[in-house]
Amino acid sequence: MTEWRKSTHSDGTQHGGCVEVAALNTTIAVRDSKNPRGPHLHLHPHTWHTLLTTIKTNNTPTPQRPCQTRDA
């Protein structure tokens, strides 16, 4: 069985907007905690490490235009 983890900064409710992470054999899986049966991202461990480092150091580029969402 896959063990999914949430950030310690998560409020612990199902209503919060959190991601869950699981270490698989060769990848790191990431999913939306509000939709655990939905699609998962699978990242190479080096890519996951780079993403975390970028987020933690706040070294993210400023977007040229605002993000847009689409209704599914």
The two three-digit tokens of residue 47, written as one number: 């890519």
Which position has the token pair 């993403």? 51
The model's pTM is 0.68
> What is the distance, to the nearest Å, from the Cα of residue 16 to the centroid of all Cα atoms in its chain?
13
Q: So what's the pLDDT on residue 33?
A: 86
Max avg pLDDT among 8-17, 47-56, 62-71: 47-56
Query: From residue 68, how far is each of 22, 28, 63 by CA, in Å?
Result: 28, 26, 12
Beta bridge partners of 20: 6, 31
Q: So what's the pLDDT on residue 68?
A: 60
Average pLDDT over residues 60-66: 65
pLDDT tens-digit readout, 4-45: 998 777 766 656 678 899 999 999 999 988 888 999 999 999
